[in-house]
C-alpha cells in the first residue's frame, strides 16, 4: 500500500499543477464590430472602454477588465495616456483562440500576429479591409508606432469630438496609404472626426479592445 501512495500523490500534484498553470486562451483581443455611430466621439476613454465591455459581454465573455487601445494627449490638467500602458500585460487571444501577441513589447514588434485574418471582431468575424467594399481598415488609436500618445490633434479632442480635428489610425489589414501604410496602429491621420470623415478615408469608427 505504501508503494502506491507516493506515485498517486505525485500524479495528483502534476494534475493540479497543470490546471494552475493552464493558460486562458479565451477572447482578450478584438476589433469592435461596430463603432459609436458618432464618428470619433466615443465618450472619451471611459465610453470606449464601456463599449468594449458591452460587446465582449454580448459575445459571451464576462469577468474580464476591458480597455480600448486608445491614447490621449495632456489636457485640462490631466496627463497624456498611452494606449500601450492601459491594456494589461498579455498574452492576448482573438475570438478564434489565436494568440496575437505575448506581451506589450511583442505587440509593438514585428513578431506580433496582427493581420486581417487574425485581427477579427468579438464574434470571430473578419473586418472589411482595403480590398473590400466598404473599406473599414482604418482603426482609431491616436498613437505612435510604439503605442505612445501623440501631440494634440491626433485623437479628436481625446475621443469627444465628431467635428473638426483628426485622429491617428492604423490599418488592421496591414496595407494602404499614409506615412506607415503597413502599421496596425499608426498609419495616418483622418480628414476629420465625423462619421462621414472617418468613412471617407477608409474607416468606420472602429477600435481595438484588449483585456486581462
In the chain, how many domains are there? 1
> Does 132 map to a domain?
yes
Whether 67 is covered by a domain: the verdict is yes
- Residue 7 resides in a domain: no
Query: Is 6 a member of any domain?
Result: no
Tell me if 13 is assigned to some domain.
no
Is 158 part of a structural domain of the chain? yes
Q: Rounded CA gap, 90 and 29, in Å?
A: 10
Q: What is the CA radius of gyration of the chain?
A: 20
Residue 12, in any domain of the structure = no
Give the three cell numbers for residue 171. Answer: 490599418
pLDDT tens digits, one per residue of 82-116: 999 999 999 999 999 999 999 999 999 999 999 99
Q: Maximum distance among all alpha carbons in the chain?
A: 80
32 closest CA partner among 113, 119, 92, 96: 119
pLDDT in tens, 148-174: 999 899 999 999 999 999 999 999 999
The torsion region of residue 105 among left (phi > 0), alpha (psi -120 to 50) and beta comes to: alpha
- What CATH number has the domain bearing residue 179? 3.10.100.10
Would residue 185 count as lying in a domain? yes
Residue 103, C-beta contacts closer than 8 angstroms, at least 6 positions apart: 89, 90, 91
| pLDDT 10s digits, 39-90 | 999 999 999 999 999 999 999 999 999 999 999 999 999 999 999 999 999 9
State which residues form the domain around 199.
25-211
Q: What is the pTM of this model?
A: 0.90
According to the model, what pLDDT value does residue 170 have?
A: 98
Amino acid at each position: 500500500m505504501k508503494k502506491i501512495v507516493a506515485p498517486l500523490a505525485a500524479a495528483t500534484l502534476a494534475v493540479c499543477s497543470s490546471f494552475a498553470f493552464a493558460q486562458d486562451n479565451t477572447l482578450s483581443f478584438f476589433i469592435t464590430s461596430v463603432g459609436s455611430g458618432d464618428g470619433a466621439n466615443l465618450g472619451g476613454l471611459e465610453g470606449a472602454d464601456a463599449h468594449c465591455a458591452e460587446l465582449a459581454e454580448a459575445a459571451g465573455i464576462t469577468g474580464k477588465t476591458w480597455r480600448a487601445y486608445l491614447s490621449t494627449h495632456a489636457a485640462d490638467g490631466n496627463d497624456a495616456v498611452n494606449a500601450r500602458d492601459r491594456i494589461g500585460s498579455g498574452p492576448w487571444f482573438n475570438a478564434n483562440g489565436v494568440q496575437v501577441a505575448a506581451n506589450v513589447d511583442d505587440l509593438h514588434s514585428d513578431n506580433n500576429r496582427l493581420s486581417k485574418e487574425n485581427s477579427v471582431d468579438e464574434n470571430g468575424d473578419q473586418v472589411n479591409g482595403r480590398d473590400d467594399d466598404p473599406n473599414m481598415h482604418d482603426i482609431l488609436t491616436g498613437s505612435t508606432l510604439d503605442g505612445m500618445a501623440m501631440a494634440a490633434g491626433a485623437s479628436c479632442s481625446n475621443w469627444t469630438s465628431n467635428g473638426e480635428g483628426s485622429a491617428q489610425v492604423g490599418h488592421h489589414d496591414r496595407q494602404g496609404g499614409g506615412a506607415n501604410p503597413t502599421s496596425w496602429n499608426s498609419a495616418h491621420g483622418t480628414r476629420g472626426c465625423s462619421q462621414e470623415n472617418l468613412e471617407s478615408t477608409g474607416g468606420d469608427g472602429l477600435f481595438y479592445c484588449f483585456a486581462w
